[in-house]
């Protein structure tokens, strides 16, 4: 990617004047990052892309068939009762990995969901998008609010090559190969970044952002994070616990006893990253180039080019890893991963916990994944997986699934919906990491998890691999 980065800052004919403008605007509060396509869904290239039309984001090289396990009663997952006006459509819990009838024989390179999301996204080899699951706020991008039990193609995104997606509680972000971001779903807190707050947006719309192409996207419960090819981080949505990283929780009084939050409705740059010394001194850090981002319900993590981790937002149960349960209003360096041979390579957030893969391939956990018991206040090695090399990791609301060496390993406390994938009439939950036996002999490239479901991309290149997959049951509601 470095050459692309150089190109983005190249000086063309109008370069210097453009850059001078930008510097002037740098001191502003982020209001200069305003919309490209705003209210209408259009394909007009914005300034950044016309300046750099050769820019292309790489998509994942590996693809395969999607396997799915977990709850499919999308309206009821994570709820005690159905919301008013929702028909009880039901849906079984799939306790073991199933193939999906609608995606049989379709090569998928990316699957996405989120630890608070009851909907999923699958992206094909050609960059076409399928979505399914809960759709009360239009988060599937299918221009309606009707739930889908089977993967359904998002026709509105056909003109784009989508390389990544991320799911929040009720909203979705899509990233194109040109580094543009499209969003749909719930926008009550401005989490779509389209410049307003509306009940829901059922069609994907361009996020109001002008700047270098975007490289990474992540969705929290009701907020979103994006980072560009120069390593800058932007956030928008609900600021309640400081998870936007702007040194404020956005609270203000409307009347003497009514509190509201000042939501960010367009992407606003996160300007400050800090390190806290042992005696509590705050030192700002200037050399942060963000490479990966992950969001939980109300907290966020970022990984920079030096393999350091920063965490901020809601601090309950130690999910930020700073050995104290305080909220952090700006990204704070996680000391544990700072230093030679101590860096991290992957991040993942659950609802109230965080995970990181060490550069040596070990998995670290902090926070709390069980509703009872002790919280882990700082990163600790997952002992059950000591000695395994972790290739991919996914976090459900409380459960965890990983690709370790040639196996798929999962664990999570009761109650579960089948997201652990142990199979029919087998254990429903496990406090220790266990291999997913139905996937023995199947090579899984990557995993992604939703609130109560897991998805795996299984390799299906040879005849033998296809035969193995054909033994798995097919789910068609």
Measuring CA to CA, which residue among 35, 2, 293, 292 is closest to residue 181? 35
The reported pLDDT for the residue numbered 333 is: 98
The reported pLDDT for the residue numbered 369 is: 95
Structure-token pair, residue 362: 């070990």
Domain ranges of the chain: 31-80+94-475
At 294-316, the pLDDT tens digits run: 999 999 999 999 999 999 999 99
At 322-361, the pLDDT tens digits run: 999 999 999 999 999 999 999 999 999 999 999 999 999 9
Per-residue confidence at 54, pLDDT binned at 50, 70, 90?
A: confident
Residue 18: is its pLDDT beyond 60? Answer: no
What's the rounded Cα separation, in Å, for the pair 197 and 181? 18
The reported pLDDT for the residue numbered 20 is: 39
Least confident of 27-41, 83-97, 181-195, 240-254: 27-41
Domain covering 31-80+94-475 in this structure, CATH number: 2.130.10.30
Per-residue confidence at 52, pLDDT binned at 50, 70, 90?
A: low
Residue 119: is its pLDDT beyond 60? Answer: yes
Residue 22: is its pLDDT beyond 60? Answer: no
The reported pLDDT for the residue numbered 300 is: 98
At 142-188, the pLDDT tens digits run: 999 999 999 999 999 999 999 999 999 999 999 999 999 999 999 99
Tell me what the pLDDT averaged over the chain comes to: 91
> Around 48, how many Cα atoms within 13 Å sit in the side-chain half-sphere?
26
The reported pLDDT for the residue numbered 4 is: 46
Residue 48: is its pLDDT beyond 80? Answer: no
Q: Are 335 and 324 in contact (CB under 8 A)?
A: no
Q: Which residues contact 380 (CB under 8 A, 6 or more apart)?
A: 364, 365, 366
Residue 112: is its pLDDT beyond 70? Answer: yes
The reported pLDDT for the residue numbered 158 is: 97
Measuring CA to CA, which residue among 273, 173, 183 is closest to residue 216? 173
User: Can you tell me the mean pLDDT for 64-88?
Assistant: 95
Measuring CA to CA, which residue among 155, 101, 109, 90 is closest to residue 448? 109
100: left (phi over 0), alpha (psi -120 to 50) or beta: beta
Sign of the CA dihedral running 22, 26, 28, 33: positive
Least confident of 10-14, 61-65, 78-82, 386-390: 10-14
Spacing of C-alpha 442 from chain mean position? 25
User: Can you tell me the mean pLDDT for 443-458?
Assistant: 98
Q: Are 78 and 221 in contact (CB under 8 A)?
A: no
Edge-to-edge, what's the strand order for the sheet holding 108-112? 108-112, 119-124, 129-133, 148-153
What's the rounded Cα separation, in Å, for the pair 165 and 123? 8
Higher pLDDT, 53 or 47: 53
pTM above 0.85, yes or no: yes
Residue 446: is its pLDDT beyond 50? Answer: yes
User: Can you tell me the mean pLDDT for 11-30?
Assistant: 39
SS (H, E, C) the chain: CHHHHHHHCCCCCCHHHHHHHHHHHHCCCCCCCCCCCCCCCCCCCCHHHHHCCCCCCCCCCCCEEEEEEEECCCCCCCCCCCCCCCCCCCCCEEEEEEEEHHHCCCCEEEEECCCCCCEEEEEECCCCEEEEECCCCCCCCCCCCCCEEEEEECHHHCCCCEEEEEECCCEEEEEECCCCEEEEEEECCCCCCCCCCEEEEEEEEECCCCCCCEEEEEECCCEEEEEECCCCEEEEECCCCCCCCCCCCCEEEEECCEEEECCEEEEEECCCEEEECCCCCEEEECCCCEEEEEECCCEEEEEECCCCEEEEECCHHHCCCCCCCCCEEEEEECHHHCCCCCCEEEEEECCCEEEEEECCCCEEEEECCCCCCCCEEEEEECHHHCCCCEEEEEECCCCEEEEECCEEEEEECCCCCCCCCCCCCCCCCEEEEEECHHHCCCCEEEEEECCCEEEEEECCCCHHHHHHHHCCCEECC
Tokens 């001078």 sit at which residue? Answer: 20
Structure-token pair, residue 200: 């829901």
Q: Measured between alpha carbons, how far is residue 365 from residues 350, 377, 419 in Å?
A: 10, 9, 19
The reported pLDDT for the residue numbered 412 is: 98
User: Can you tell me the mean pLDDT for 213-224?
Assistant: 98
């Amino acid at each position: 990617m470095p050459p692309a980065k150089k190109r983005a800052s190249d000086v063309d004919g109008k370069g210097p004047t453009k850059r001078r403008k930008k510097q002037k605007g740098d001191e502003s509060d982020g209001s200069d990052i305003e919309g490209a396509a705003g209210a209408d869904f259009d394909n007009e290239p914005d300034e950044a892309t016309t300046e750099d039309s050769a820019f292309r984001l790489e998509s994942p090289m590996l693809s395969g068939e999607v396997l799915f396990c977990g709850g499919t009663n999308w309206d009821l997952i994570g709820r005690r009762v159905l919301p008013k006006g929702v028909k009880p459509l039901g849906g079984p819990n799939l306790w073991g990995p199933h193939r999906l009838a609608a995606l049989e024989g379709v090569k998928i390179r990316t699957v996405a969901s989120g630890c608070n999301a009851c909907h999923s996204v699958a992206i094909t080899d050609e960059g076409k998008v399928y979505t399914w699951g809960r759709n009360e706020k239009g988060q599937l991008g299918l221009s309606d609010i009707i739930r889908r039990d089977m993967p359904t193609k998002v026709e509105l995104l056909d003109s784009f090559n989508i390389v990544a997606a991320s799911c929040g509680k009720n909203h979705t972000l899509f990233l194109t190969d040109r580094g543009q971001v499209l969003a749909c779903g719930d926008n009550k807190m401005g989490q779509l970044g389209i410049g307003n707050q509306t009940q829901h947006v059922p069609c994907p719309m361009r996020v109001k952002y002008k700047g270098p192409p975007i490289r990474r996207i992540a969705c929290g419960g009701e907020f979103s994070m994006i980072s560009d090819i120069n390593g800058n981080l932007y956030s928008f949505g609900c600021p309640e616990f400081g998870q936007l990283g702007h040194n404020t929780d956005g609270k203000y009084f409307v009347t003497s006893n009514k509190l509201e939050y000042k939501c960010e409705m367009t992407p606003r740059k996160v300007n400050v990253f800090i390190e806290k010394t042992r005696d509590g001194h705050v030192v700002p850090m200037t050399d942060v180039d963000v490479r990966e981002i992950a969001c939980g319900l109300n907290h966020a993590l970022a990984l920079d080019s030096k393999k350091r981790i920063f965490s901020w937002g809601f601090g309950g149960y130690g999910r930020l890893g700073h050995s104290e349960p305080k909220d952090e209003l700006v990204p704070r360096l996680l000391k544990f991963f700072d230093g030679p041979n101590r860096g991290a390579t992957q991040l993942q957030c659950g609802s109230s916990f965080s995970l990181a893969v060490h550069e040596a391939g070990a998995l670290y956990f902090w926070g709390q994944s069980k509703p009872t018991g002790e919280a882990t206040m700082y990163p600790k090695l997952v002992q059950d997986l000591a000695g395994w090399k972790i290739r991919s990791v996914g976090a459900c609301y409380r459960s965890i699934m990983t690709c370790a060496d040639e196996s798929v390993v999962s664990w999570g406390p009761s109650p579960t919906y089948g997201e652990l994938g142990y199979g029919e009439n087998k254990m429903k939950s496990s406090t220790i990491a266990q291999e997913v036996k139905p996937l023995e002999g199947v090579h899984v490239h990557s995993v992604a998890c939703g609130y109560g479901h897991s998805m795996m991309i299984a390799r299906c290149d040879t005849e033998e691999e296809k035969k193995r997959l054909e033994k798995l049951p097919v789910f068609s509601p």
